[in-house]
Structure 1
Amino acid sequence: MEACRLIFIVLMHVFIGIAQAQTDPFLIDCGTNSSIIVDGRRWVGDLNGNNTNVTLSSPGISASTATVSGNSVYGSLYKTARIFSSPSNYTFRVLSGEYYVRLHFYPFPFNNNLNVNTSKFDVLANNLRLVSGFNVVDEISWKNTYLAKLGSNSTVSALMKEYFLTIKTAEILIKFVPASGTFAFVNAIEIVPVLSRLFPESAVKVAGNGANVSLVDKGIETMYRLNVAGQEIAPGQDRDLWRRWESDDNYIFAASASAVIKNSSNISYAYPSDVSVAPILVYEDARTMTNAQVMDNRFNMSWKFIVDPNFDYLVRLHFCELYYDKANQRIFKIYINNQTAAENFDVFVRAGGLNKAYHEDYIDLVSPQLDTLWVQLGPDPSAGGSGTEAILNALEILKLSRNGNLAHTLEIFDSGGKGAAGKNSKRILLVVIGAGVAAFAVLSALCIVIFCFCKKKKMSGPIKTESPRWRPLVLQGILGSTNDVRASKFPSMANGSMATTRIGKRFTVAEIRAATKNFDESLVIGTGGFGKVYKGVIEDGSLVAIKRAHPQSQQGLAEFETEIEMLSKLRHRHLVSMIGYCEEHNEMILVYEYMANGTLRSHLFGSDLPPLPWKQRLEACIGAARGLHYLHTGLDGGIIHRDVKTTNILLDENFVAKVADFGLSKTGPSLDRTHVSTAVKGSFGYLDPEYFRRQQLTDKSDVYSFGVVLFEVVCARPVINPTLPRDQINLAEWAVQWQRKGSLETIVDPKLEGKYSLESLKKFGEIAEKCLADEGKNRPTMGEVLWHLEYVLQLHEAYTRSDTTGESLSRSEVRFTNPLSLPAIGEGEYQSSSLNPLAVDMGPTYEGESSAGTTSEDAIGVVDFSQLVHPQGR
């Protein structure tokens, strides 16, 4: 009987120990056998023999330091570390359930001749890979670079990686695996049990037509957790789970687009089960949109995050209506990565009243080509709500595991290639090269097999199936059909065939292969989402550029089809012309005129080409402005290019500038509309901020991008350069600062060697600055930009003549009459004129136009605009 009592007592102690392991957190101070109180919690040394629920497979090496930099609340905890030179693991005895696992890293100088800069390791938790090839110093360096790019003055000296795990066994095994010849280390580990459910079994997928994505058995890594509009919430203020809620100040795009509201009244959870989802503190303040009483308020509040590519992300948005006490008073839309996640969103209705804490979850895939995730909230005018502004109290960005993996290899921002970053970059490069060679070999073998299969299939009979993604040109309705509704728009399609005066010659695949030497890779002159561009020679000896679409590129095909549609309408001396097409054998190929001198950017920086003189730069800008002005005014409603940049301005053999790449172009608004509502697309650094905020596209969006191009032309540097000091990263912002100081010549491309007129440079800077006005209504039209650029060229030529002849010409002697009676740069807002004489330069080409590039103004007998403004012509 006594023996049974003893057994019962022992079992009770075991069960009590396991129950405590389930309800009490594990707080482990690594590298010591003593305990310490930090932030009101007791952290136990990892070699403390009294902690029977934690075991360490090997002791490794203990390291310690006397001082810790930074002001982290965990500073005293970071004075010790555990170092492993071989695979080692911590084992925690737990009950099955859900847990937060947090790993703390603080790199300090270790003893035993161990250089912390060379440390590299993997970490796994119950076989879920948390990090791979992890170097703490590099990660901290990247984090500080990222914060600096965001404009933050704060820096970090330590890292905390947080994961949410569902455990189905009786233990959590955290394994550290150092890379060969290096070591792993950790300063502290905390494992916090989650006693109430935090995440549902599934969440709705953005742009997934209502489909849900399962969260069952997914590992989750916390990427960002923000208290919107409020101060940082320290772990000690989130008492249940000890989470840190960072301020959103570093991540909101254009903070001036929002206002902060607060309400510390009795806030309660919409659902009692949500008590652990977030502390009440995060719901007591919120961001709303500014100018709340203005009914025409259309811009968005936006937050931007750098994330790891090729992962699914759970975006959790926290809401609490703090102001409106009735339904339908605040209705808005939610966008994630420019896709609509929710419409007609009314927090009051969804939460069930005022001061009710509520959250929504969405899942979005970030593709392998992207490393950013945008969250935007904006009004939904169609819903008819009296309150037009959106509201947000907090948000979380959480990465979901894929195939048992949460790890992503960090790409280091290292301009000099020094230290660990440089070494890691070299190793990564070697791995990439090796993988590339192997992939090429496998791909080649696969191509041979596919070729043989297709050839055999062709011999046995015609191929009856095609790629489901492929739509030949004739099926798009662009090349004509007797029943095609587009035939009424294009007279050349009326008889069911495409006249060559519009779309051009129809090439055979054999002709295309002959022109490109069977698509010789050495002839590739460009690539894009659609496929590749080849330099070719067609039968008459003309050089051409041949764009071959890839059938499996869904996004590229959409842009490709847009370009076909646009080019079928357009013909102008300053737009790249399409010569013909090919649609045989499941191919989609366009043939363009060849631009011998490549992109405008290649003549500014990044190549060994000789720099363009000031006059040629001005002429290139004037040519591009003419092409864009034709787009904006040449057709009903006009066309908005939407991707104006120096790589889309090409130069022919005579350095005549022509605008190219119409894959993102949109037809302009109808007469009764002021804009086109569309998702934001374009190139970072050139993107119109008003278009970004409001998702309303106008021709003034092209004007903004062209303003960036103008400053790029004068400064000859990338529009975004993260290696420069913070105030110089964004070219547009930096150049405008110098322009407003009246000292633009300070940052002019030194390769110009002062061979330009200061007067012309001044006027050039003024029009570029005006193009970059924050609001479109304050920007000039492209026609007005063109007029002023012609004037800038006049000033420079007058300066050149005076410099050559020794005669001094005053500014009044070279000024020509402004046919539009435009205000001087900076005098109030620009207004469009319906009496724009530049329209003669923009009309479409008449049928039968010669292939020699005759412009519309030549066709109708009107003098060139440059002759109109030049006394002697050019």
Structure 2
Amino acid sequence: MVMEKRQGREVLGLFFVLMIFSCIRIGEAQSKSFLINCGTDSSVTVDGRKWVGDLVPNNNLTLSSTGVAVNTSTLSGDSIVGPLYKSARIVTDGLNYTFKMVPGNYIVRLHFCPFPFENYNINESSFSVVANGLKLLSQLSVPGEISHKNMYLQNSGGNGSFFLVKEYILGINLDELLIELIPNKGSFGFINAIDIVPVADKLFPDSISKVGGNDVNFNLSGRGIETMHRLNVGGPEIKPNQDSDLWRTWEVDSSYMITANAGSEIRNSSNITYSSLNDSSVAPLFVYETARTMSNTEVLEKRFNMSWKFEVDPDFDYLVRLHFCELVYDKANQRIFRIYINNRTAANNFDIFVQAGGMNRAYHQDYFDAVSSKIDTLWIQLGPDTAAGASGTDALLNGLEIFKLSRNGNLAYVERYDSAGSSGSRSKNWILWVGIAAGIASVAILLVIFILVFYICKNRREKSSDAKNNSPGWRPFFLPRAFVNGTNNAKGTGFQNTNGSLASSRVGKRFTLAEIRAATNNFDDSLVIGVGGFGKVYKGVIEDGSLAAIKRANPQSEQGLAEFETEIEMLSKLRHRHLVSLIGFCEEQNEMILVYEYMANGTLRSHLFGSNLLPLTWKQRLDVCIAAARGLHYLHTGAERGIIHRDVKTTNILLDENFVAKMSDFGLSKTGPAMDHTHVSTAVKGSFGYLDPEYFMRQQLTEKSDVYSFGVVLFEVVCARAVINPTLPKDEINLAEWAMKRQRQRSLETIIDPHLQGGYCPESLEKYGEIAEKCLDDEGKNRPMMGEVLWHLEYVLQLHEAWMQNNNGQCSFSSSQALGEVEAKDAKEVATLDEEKNSSNLKMEVEE
């Protein structure tokens, strides 16, 4: 009996040992990571982690086929990649990676590094990736993604070779993970490495705060997730080996900010702890040791808060995770602010101290938002909530993550990019229609050529009689019915548009050539007040006795019918006090003539250099820049799709008798892109020295192209010299490059117009230089909108006026007071703009 009890205890003990061992084994299996080096049977160690070759036996991995293995010895050309990317596996017929694993949640990273190899042109690779039936990537072109600057674009060792890492969080319900590489027809795919790391079961909760709504259960555990952006706000980059549990990369946030200096970086070396024990895997403590707070805490308007802008894929749901840690205040109600996501309020009365449970406590908050099919950006904004009665009107953020959520088993955004960064996916139907359109276009071109030949022969017969009666010129082949069929009384009756209805905007009078000759004393050269690309501009007196600027086309000019029509079309539909008004036009007897309001003080450039005119004061220059910015802002926002000026320069900014500035010369202007496009593809036109380099290289025109040109104008205004002067030393020839160099050195005051010395507020010049610098950013996406430029210039003017009011040359009131006046003035400007928009016909016809 004793023996039986002893045996029973032994069996029971053995059972418990086996149970414990089993739990340990399960725990080991759950914690197992897969680090796969594709295309090789050898291993490599990177940052202390061993990456095993995908052909190494007994690694819980099987391949359906081997494809083409590529390693350093078979690479053509020089291999300048990091140790992890010296091998790859190329797939032409499809390939499956099957991993044996324990069910749970995992981070899956796919590594791609393009390289040349024999007959495989990596620039032409296109393939899809599927994981356990969830589509991760579709029609992926790795070089295209890299040129489009997707997240996780990194440099492999700083040697000029780049690689792409796509990160996903997947819930694996089976005992295996199947990753399929599927090349598109006629193409191939490749992969360099696969990284699989287990994560905590509750890294993402099922219940999330919906922006603009209540908490909703979205069953995140049943959805695939892709990491789109991950930022360490206010701090340095956090590398994977500093996030030891999950090996994540945390980028620097400054490049995503609309205005980088809107937030000041702060640090705290105090011991930081997690507000919840379950948060240890959410983010490393490094994230919470740095933060960004508002630079100016007196700004109450939400558009002037700390703002970050991100590119995302349209038509998906997104989880936004914000990381907070109160590093300054040791009690509640000291820092209360609002959180905005895509310009909607996500949270009011947000107090980090209360939410986290104290100071130096790491805390995170998740929000859910859906992005429509017409939007490819996501905005995050933080700003003070003065209604809450906090003693400090400030905001703080330590970290930020944006995750894309799958829809109907899909995480892939179909519209990918080719190696040039342009859209690469097109349906077969689209290609078919392109072919049909090309055929129709060919027939149309032949027909047009035939008509042109016919008219040329006819015109030759009539040429002698025309020459007797007309000045040198040419007759346009056609004018839109809006001009030809309209009545032409002196009161400016509306013109019939191409749809047969009267436009509500009125061009003005259609002048006869006799009236124009009378107004200009038969085009007397003594009345010439300017010469441009279109032709000479005359000072004239029209029949009602008022002065006018009369622009007569030169037959030898590079600008002709298209610019003539564009100028009339644009100015007939837009009205603004900072746009030169079009009085009328003449297209009689081979002439193309435009009649504008007269601007008594000529061009802005003539008041800066090259003439004997009195130099403008600093205040006058700021007033001129503000007025020009208002005109451009109206162009960009006044029409349904906006209008891009395309030739912003100081000779196209005119001054009236009161030195009020107005934008002129709209012959090169373009209607902005449609809602589903980011730019207008067009031939490069503009003026050398003012031309946006991004537009020049890509032939992709955006509103930010005008912003760049205006940035050059800002430097030209303060330096009072030509934008291109080949007589100067090499590094000073180009004003934009020279001024930017000095501005980055914070020594702009050393090169400004000597006439300004002692007549400006140093702080106003400093802020002026900062906004000009932002306008000239190499990348359009980092430049401010024209409305932001306008606001900053008004702020600069307020600083200067405050300085002028003080006899000691010190600012007589604070920057916050200046900001308050700017806001009031800006609100009035917005109201006026809305009134002008409502009183004009702003429906611009689609321009393709």
Name the TM-score class by shorter chain: 0.5 to 0.7
Corresponding residue for residue 130 of structure 1: 136
285 and 831 in structure 1: CA distance in 2 versus 1, 3 angstrom threshold: closer
- 3-state SS of 2:358 partner: coil
Q: Which residue of structure 1 aligns with residue 386 of structure 2?
A: 381
Which one-letter code corresponds to 1:82 in the other structure? R
Distance 1:144 1:68 in 2: 27
Aligned to 2:563: 611
Give the counterpart of 1:43 among 32, 40, 51.
51
Aligned match of 2:413: 408
Displacement after TM superposition at 1:105 (Å): 0.5
Q: Could you tell me which residue of structure 2 aligns to residue 279 of structure 1?
A: 284
2:92 corresponds to: 85
Helix, strand or coil at the partner of 2:123: helix
Match status 1:253 vs 2:258: yes
Cα distance change on mapping 1:170 and 1:203 into 2, 3 Å: same
Instruction: Tell me, in whole angstroms, the C-alpha distance in 2 between the residues paired with 1:389 and 1:338.
Output: 18
Partner of 2:316: 311
SS of the residue corresponding to residue 401 of structure 2 reads: strand
User: TM-score under structure 1 normalisation?
Assistant: 0.54
Alignment of 1:111-510 (within 5 A): 111=118, 113-143=119-149, 157-208=162-213, 213-292=218-297, 294=298, 299-410=304-415, 412=417, 421=420, 428=426, 430-434=428-432
- Give ranges in structure 1 of 5+ residues lacking alignment: 414-419, 439-524, 526-534, 544-572, 580-588, 598-602, 630-643, 659-681, 689-702, 748-761, 781-827, 835-840, 846-874
Residue 236 of structure 1, CA deviation: 0.8
Mapping of residues 643-658 of structure 1, within 5 Å? none
For 1:132 and 1:35, the matched residues in 2 are separated by 30
- The 3 A distance-change label for structure 1 pair 173 and 606 is farther
Matches within 5 A, 1:657-672: none
Q: 1:75 aligns with which of 78, 82, 93?
A: 82
How many residues of Structure 1 are paired with residues of Structure 2 in the alignment?
A: 554
Cα 1:76–1:710 shift into 2, 3 Å: farther
What is the CA-CA distance between 1:431 and the residue it aligns to?
4.7
CA distance in 2, matches of 1:349, 1:125: 41
Rounded Cα–Cα distance in structure 1 between residues aligned with 2:125 and 2:266: 46
The residue that corresponds to 2:117 in the other structure is 110
Q: Cα offset for 1:308?
A: 1.2
Work out whether residues 68 and 75 of structure 1, in 8 Å CA contact, stay in contact via their aligned partners in 2.
no
Query: SS of the counterpart of 1:378?
Result: strand
SS in 2 for 1:303: strand
Q: Displacement, 1:611?
A: 3.3
Which amino acid is the alignment partner of residue 117 of structure 1? N
Identity of aligned residues (%): 44
For residues 19 and 284 of structure 1, do their structure 2 counterparts lie closer, same or farther at Cα, with a shift above 3 Å needed?
A: closer
Q: 2:387 and 2:106 mapped to 1: Cα distance?
A: 43
**Any idea what SS the aligned residue of 1:774 has?**
helix
Question: Once the 2 structures are TM-superposed, how far is the Cα of residue 324 of structure 1 from its aligned partner?
Answer: 0.8
Alpha-carbon offset, residue 180 of structure 1: 1.5
Report the Cα distance in structure 2 between the residues aligned to 1:15 and 1:831, rounded to whole angstroms. Answer: 66
Instruction: Measure how far apart 1:115 and its partner are.
Output: 1.6
Change (3 A) 1:41 1:620: closer
Q: Quick check: 1:319–1:358 contact (8 Å CA) kept in 2?
A: yes
Q: 1:13–1:180: structure 2 CA closer, same or farther, 3 Å change rule?
A: farther
Instruction: Give the Cα–Cα distance (whole angstroms) in 2 for the partners of residues 342 and 430 of structure 1.
Output: 45
Equivalent pair of 1:269/1:357 in contact (CA under 8 Å): yes
Residue 69 (structure 2) aligns with: 62
Picking from 763, 785, 794, the partner of 1:776 is: 794
Deviation at 1:252, TM superposition (A): 1.5
Q: Supply the distance in 1 between the matched residues of 2:24 and 2:335 (Cα, whole angstroms).
A: 51
TM-align CA RMSD: 5.6
Unpaired segments of 5 or more residues in structure 2? 1-10, 437-479, 510-533, 536-556, 587-593, 598-631, 639-653, 655-659, 669-684, 699-703, 726-754, 756-767, 773-785, 799-817, 826-831, 837-848
Q: How many Å apart are 1:18 and its aligned residue?
A: 6.5
Does the 8 A contact of 1:68 with 1:78 survive in 2? Answer: no
SS of match in other structure, 1:132:
strand
Code of the residue aligned with 2:63 in structure 1: it is L
Distance 1:308 1:620, change over 3 A: closer
* Structure 1 residue 368: Cα displacement: 1.6
Task: Note the alpha carbon deviations across 1:325-367, whole angstroms, 9 max, x for none.
Answer: 1111111111111111111111111111101111111122222
Match of 2:747 in 1: none
Kindly state the Cα deviation for residue 651 of structure 1 after the two structures are TM-superposed. 9.2
- Residues 319 and 721 of structure 1: CA distance in aligned 2, closer, same or farther (over 3 Å): same
The whole-number CA distance in structure 2 between the counterparts of 1:352 and 1:30 is 46
> Structure 1 residues 611, 381: closer, same or farther in 2, change over 3 A?
same
Paired residue type of 2:45: I
User: CA separation of 1:653/1:16 partners in 2, compared to 1, >3 Å: closer, same or farther?
Assistant: farther
Distance 1:403 1:288 in 2: 39
- Residue 403 of structure 1: how far off its partner (Å): 1.3
State the alpha-carbon separation in 2 of the partners of residues 175 and 211 from structure 1: 33
Residue 735 (structure 1) aligns with:
713
SS in 2 for 1:250: helix
AA aligned to 1:40 is G
Amino acid at match of 2:92: S
In structure 2, C-alpha distance between the alignment counterparts of 1:685 and 1:272, rounded to whole Å: 54
* Higher mean C-alpha displacement, 27-36 vs 729-738: 729-738
Structure 2 length normalisation: TM-score?
0.55
Q: Is it true that 1:29 corresponds to 2:49 in the alignment?
A: no
Relative distance call for 1:381 and 1:426 in structure 2 (3 A) is: closer
Contact (CA 8 Å) 1:98, 1:195: kept in 2 or not? yes
User: Contact 1:64/1:110 (CA < 8 Å) preserved in 2?
Assistant: no
Structure 1's 722 and 83: CA in aligned 2 closer, same or farther, altered over 3 A? same
Shift of 1:186: 0.5
Would the alpha carbon gap of residues 368 and 15 (structure 1) be closer, same or farther in structure 2, given more than 3 Å must change? Answer: same
Note closer, same or farther for the CA distance 1:333–1:15 as it changes in structure 2 (3 Å cut).
Answer: closer
Structure 1 residues 281 and 186: CA distance shift in structure 2, 3 A: same
Equivalent-residue separation in structure 1 for 2:159 and 2:374 (angstroms): 29
Matched letter for residue 185 of structure 2: S
SS at match of 1:350: helix
Matches within 5 A, 1:645-794: 686=636, 716=686, 722-724=694-696, 730-743=708-721, 746=724, 772=790, 774-778=792-796
Q: 2 CA distance for matches of 1:218 and 1:353?
A: 34
Distance 1:577 1:388 in 2: 54
Q: 1:208 to 1:200 in 2, by over 3 A?
A: same
What SS is found at the alignment partner of 1:732?
helix
Shift of 1:206: 1.5
1:385 and 1:574 map into 2 onto residues whose CA distance is 58
Pair 23,773 (structure 1): closer, same or farther in 2 beyond 3 Å: closer
SS for the counterpart of 1:334 is strand
| 1:722 Cα deviation after fit | 3.7
How far did residue 71 of structure 1 move? 13
1:68–1:79 Cα contact (<8 Å) kept: no
User: Closer, same or farther in 2 for the Cα pair 1:379/1:140, shift >3 Å?
Assistant: same
Query: Which secondary structure state, in structure 2, belongs to the residue aligned with residue 432 of structure 1?
Result: helix
Q: Return the letter of the residue paired with 1:258.
A: G
- Cα distance, 1:212–1:24 mapped onto 2, change above 3 Å: closer
Q: Distance in 1 between matches of 2:46 and 2:294?
A: 40
